[in-house]
Amino acid sequence: MKFLSILLLFGTSMTMAAPSPPDIHLPVPELETLPNGLQVVWFVNHKLPIVDLALFVKSGAVDDLSGKSGTSELLVNLLDRGAGGMNAQQLARAVESLGASRYAATDEETISVGMHGLAPDAPALLELLAKMVMKPDFPEAETRRAHGRLLQQWSHLADYGETLAGLAFRRIIANGTRYARGTFLSGKEFKQVTREDVMAFHKAHFAPGNAVLMIVGRVDPAEFKKQVLAHFGSWQPSPRSQTRNPDKFAKDPRLVIGSQLAVIDRPELNQAHVKIGFRAPKIDSPDHYSLVVANALLGEYFNSRLNSLIRDKMGLTYSIGSSFAYNKELATFSITSTTRNESVGQLIRKVLDVLRDFKKGPITQEEVATAKEYRIGGFPLTTSTLESVATQWLSAYVFGLGPKRLNEFIPKIAAVTRDDVSSAVNRHFDLDHLVITVAGDAREIEKSLASLGNTGGMGLKARSRLPRLKVKRIPIRDLM
Amino acid sequence: MDLKKGFAVSFLLLPFIFTGAACKQSISGLGIQLELERKTLSNGLSVIMVEDHTVPIISYQTWYRAGSVDEHPGITGVSHLFEHLMFKGTPKYGPKRFFQELETKGAQVNAFTTRDYTVYYETIVPSLLEKVIDMESDRMANLELNEEILNSERMVVLEERRLRAENSPEGKIQEALWQLSYRRHPYQWPVIGYSQDLLSISLEQVKEFFKTHYQPANATIVIVGDFKTEAAYPLIKKYYERIPSKGKVKRKIQEEPEQQEERRLTLRDHVLSERFAQAYHITAATNDDSYALDVLANILFEGTSSRAYRRLVEEKELAIAVTGSAYTPTYPGLFIIAGVMKEAVQSGEAEAALDELIREIQDPNSVISDQEIRVAVRQLTVQLVDSVRSPHGLGQLIGTVQTIFGDPQRFASDLAKYFRVTAPDVKRVAQKYLIPNNRSVVILAPGSERKK
């Protein structure tokens, strides 16, 4: 290990022996399928007296009907507002009196409903979970109130520059797919969502064959299985259960975007939130692990290329990082940062220089070795609790990546070579289809962009050899 | 049903049991078992070790008794500035080496600063333990500080300040609230410091702060996870014992005089609706009123069945969110309530509803049910069990109580004290602390701060 540090310090290009990857054995869940089709996943561990019970439905906001964005969001906000003969207050008291907590959430692909509490309360929490999932009442008065609250919460998102930059980025980069709606497209469209829409969504998608029940923590499996059967065994498959048709998404992921920069005006902020990115290969791409290594050395750790230059050397930001984000049919890469208004142009130019150099190469052997060591060495930390293993297992399950996915991580990363990384970056870092969003005080930001020169209004073209960026200002109201 | 009752009774009577000699204690209860060993080096460095071999991870934490409470006007933010400077290197391990040696091998390396202390932590695989001990002891003794390092990090911290304080609605309110609440005590300034101080603080002042506060007698090492005490402790002695002792820092803190009248401030920003925060002066962590105050905060604010959520969000539909908690640090802290109003609703309406709720609790003839107390204590119990799920969480809990109370097992006896809180205790602390003349209120209203 010491030898490696010395090499890094002096930046030589010697080839070195890779350290042997750690031998990690992750907990493997017990799986079973009930006669009604519900899959039950058991991650049993007795270390702490706590339990997590969660039901995942394999449908989400992309399944909201056209013109009805926000249906699944409203649904998850209503599951604990009356179910199985209990009203909202009775449900809340029943859970909270155990010191437990509950949640219901939707993203684009899935809906999750769960309970977290002390192990002896697991039977009571399971019963409440079953009521919320299988027997929600969607009372009219509660639906009206939840609808109003969601509209209010949605409108308040405009108070935050970070949210505005993220929202605009998502809308532009996912344009042409239903992911562009997110879980909530606009207040205007949400006003069209009715109680009947919610009930229809529940009927269509909440069915045992479209769900997974996860039991994580301290339970006696033999005893608890009886409880699972008692509460979920009678759940009848819905005749209208739906599975998603992947063909409805754009076949060509680059069909609808070109390089562009959008400024979202949030007056009087003295700091701007910046996002820069492009569409990326999906999670099942053969280049996936090479891109995981590439991303690490580009923008994940303190000594990454982006942080070393933009924060550590230039002091332009407090925080800069890069990441890939995955949906089933769409993947994106993005760099996120903040900087004072007057240095927005400088930060964007420097980031684009880093990206251009990264694509052009060379990426050194040492960089790749360090990034691999970072990902392999960090793996035990990201799987250090049962809950984190269960979450990652579920994520692989949702993406249909097979039960061995988690245990493949270390050998797959270990096998990545410098050539793999270079060619994956060259193939997939699509600098001709960049999306840049900046949220902050538009007047100040545009001054900073203009001060960089007159090449394409951005001063980017000369050095970065990038196409002209189409610059536009997006009013907040167009996002909300 | 019987099982649940039996369980609740055992919770109530005996949350934790202590056994063993003074330096090594077994703590068991709530289905958790741990052995905690405490040692002190000849130079005054406290070392607390908890072995846990469940996963191959170690959390290594260095707690310095140095926070914004140790600053004065002109050098506000210096304790947090060290959170950055401590990664800038020593003659032995130059700039970036902390990340090269540890983070790029998968370790999580970071730090945080509070009003009372600063913590540096690494979550590592066991093979990195000696390297961490070497590097942490090295920077405690030999940190390199110069103008170039200071100037680059003050720029980064100013960016952090813009992010957390100046451009965040919550950050703005919180900064103003503490400033309004305290007039003498150093809790009045933000942990991140004021911009003018961050720009003007000198290298000499930074060096002086380091010399005074970053030394063994003012620090505690907490190690939790997959290691053997008999192997780790000799390494700690080897690397730390050579650092000379300067004695524990004696803090000279100005007491805050009793507040005699309500204080109010209105700020403006481009937000959709009014937001507000109230702060009542309360007590310190060492005062047993703090347990009843936590229970009171849970009864009022924890969950959607809490009194305040039901009244303000569900029944009156005034606010979209309301929160509250008792913050009891080393010195007397604040009971802070905050809310976000629905569009076009004035925060005064929420304040009136909150006053009504508080009066109901204070009323000698009103009822706080045993059930409400039991629920609140159970919620606090789950929070504690959750916090010890990972070696890092357990280490943080132990480090906090050690730094504030000088007793690493205090979290266990703390829980026992929650179980002894009664309805009259809750009523009494509400009557004692939650009175209008004892509070400060900040409102953030939609509008512009720019002069027209």
Q: Minimal Cα–Cα distance from B77 to chain A, Å?
A: 15
- Domain range for A273: 251-479
Asked if residue A411 and residue A308 are part of one domain, the reply reads yes
Distance from CA of B8 to the nearest CA of A (A): 10
pLDDT tens digits along B257-276:
999 999 999 999 999 999 99
- CB of B320 within 8 Å of a chain A CB? The answer is yes
User: Looking at the structure, do residues A186 and A316 belong to the same domain, yes or no?
Assistant: no
- State how many domains chain A has: 2
A5 touching B (Cβ < 8 Å): yes
Same domain, A282 and A423: yes
Residues A387 and A317 in one domain: yes
Confidence (pLDDT) at B446: 95
The shortest C-alpha distance from A64 to chain B (Å) reads: 25
Angle between helices A195-205 and A71-78 (to 10 degrees): 90
- Residue A241: predicted pLDDT: 52
Domain match, A397 and A457 both: yes
At B26 the pLDDT is 64
- Among A51, A156, A341, A376, pick the best mutation site for testing chain B contact (most B Cβ within 10 A): A156
Long-range CB pairs of A462-465, under 8 A, 24+ apart, other chains included: A463/A349, A463/A353, A463/A356, A464/A349, A464/A352, A464/A353, A464/A356, A464/A431, A465/A356
Of B240, B273, B308, the one marking the end of a domain is B240
Can you give the pLDDT of all 480 residues of chain A as single tens digits?
A: 222 222 222 222 333 344 565 666 677 889 999 999 999 999 998 888 899 999 999 999 999 999 999 999 999 999 999 999 999 999 999 999 999 999 999 999 999 999 999 999 999 999 999 999 999 999 999 999 999 999 999 999 989 999 999 999 999 999 888 898 999 999 999 999 999 999 999 999 999 999 999 999 999 999 999 999 999 999 988 755 555 554 444 444 444 456 789 999 988 899 999 999 999 999 999 999 999 999 999 999 999 999 999 998 998 999 999 999 999 889 999 999 999 999 999 999 999 999 999 999 999 999 999 999 999 988 888 887 788 888 888 888 888 887 778 888 999 999 999 999 999 999 999 998 899 999 999 999 988 888 665 334 343 443 443 445 667 888 777 777
pLDDT at residue number A13: 31
C-beta atoms of B389 and A156 within 8 A: no
The region of weakest confidence among A284-298, B92-106, B218-232, B284-298 is B92-106
Is pLDDT above 60 for B7? no
Domain that holds residue B276: 263-446
Examine residue A20 and state whether it is found in any structural domain, yes or no. Answer: no
Chain A closest CA to B287's CA: distance in Å? Answer: 25
Say if residue B153 is in the same domain as residue B189. Answer: yes
Contact between A353 and A464 under an 8 Å Cβ cutoff? The reply is yes
- Is A96 within 8 Å of chain B by CB? yes
pLDDT at position A416, please?
98
Residue A7 lies in a domain: no
Q: Which of B106, B167, B305 sits opposite A161 (nearest CB)?
A: B167
**Residue A174 placed within a domain:** yes
Instruction: Choose the mutation target among B86, B135, B167 for the interface with A, i.e. most A CBs under 10 Å.
Output: B167
- The pLDDT tens digits of the residues spanning B381-438 come to 888 888 888 899 999 999 999 998 888 888 878 888 999 999 999 999 999 999 999 9
Give the CATH number, domain containing residue A131: 3.30.830.10
Q: Does B156 touch chain A (CB under 8 A)?
A: yes
Residue B442 lies in a domain: yes
Last-in-domain residue among A240, A269, A285: A240
**Same domain membership, residue B273 and residue B214:** no
**What confidence score (pLDDT) does residue A458 get?**
42
| B382 within some domain | yes
Q: Does B135 touch chain A (CB under 8 A)?
A: no
Contact residues, chain A, for B445 at CB < 8 Å: none
Which residues of chain B neighbour A100 with C-beta distances below 8 Å?
Answer: 382
A153 touches chain B (CB under 8 A): yes
- How confident is the model over B224-230, as a mean pLDDT? 95
The pLDDT of residue A401 is 87
Q: Which residue of B has its CA nearest to A141?
A: B314
B452 touches A: beta carbon within 8 Å: no
CA–CA gap between residue A272 and residue A263 (Å, rounded): 10
User: Both A75 and A125 in a single domain?
Assistant: yes
For residue B183, give how far its alpha carbon lies from the nearest alpha carbon of chain A (Å).
28
Q: pLDDT tens-digit profile of A8-36?
A: 222 223 333 445 656 666 778 899 999 99
What's the complex ipTM? Answer: 0.85
Nearest residue, CB atoms, A303 vs list B32, B104, B159: B104
Residue B20 lies in a domain: no
- pLDDT at residue number A405: 84
Instruction: Tell me if A9 is assigned to some domain.
Output: no
Per the CB < 8 A criterion, the answer to whether A357 and A5 are in contact is no
Considering the domain boundaries, does residue B18 fall inside one?
A: no
Q: A84 with A120: CB under 8 angstroms?
A: no
| Same domain assignment for residues B95 and B231 | yes
Chain B contact for A22 (CB, 8 A cutoff): yes
Among B167, B385, B449, select the one facing A271 at the smallest CB separation.
B167
Domain count, chain B: 2
Q: pLDDT tens-digit profile of A284-305?
A: 999 999 999 999 999 999 999 9
Q: Domain containing B359 — which CATH number?
A: 3.30.830.10
CA atoms within 13 A on the CB side of A62: 24
Asked if A149 and B320 come within 8 Å (Cβ–Cβ), the reply is yes
Cα B320 to Cα A76, B339, B446, B447, distances in angstroms: 17, 8, 16, 20
Do residue B40 and residue B159 come from a single domain?
Answer: yes
Chain-wide mean pLDDT for chain B? 91
Report if residue A16 sits inside a domain: no
Distance of CA B163 to the CA centre of its chain: 20
Please count the other Cβ atoms lying within 10 Å of the Cβ belonging to residue A66: 8
A315 domain residue, yes or no: yes
Length of chain B: 452
Q: Report the alpha-carbon distance of residue B309 to residue B298 in Å, rounded.
A: 11
A1 touches B at CB < 8 Å? yes
- A270–B167 CB contact, under 8 Å: yes
| Contact assignment for B107 to A100 by CB distance below 8 Å | no
Chain B residue closest to A22 (CA)?
B125
A50 neighbourhood in chain B, CB within 8 Å? 382, 385-386, 389
For residue A163, count CB atoms less than 10 angstroms from its CB and return exposed for 0-12, middle for 13-18, buried for 19 or more.
Answer: middle
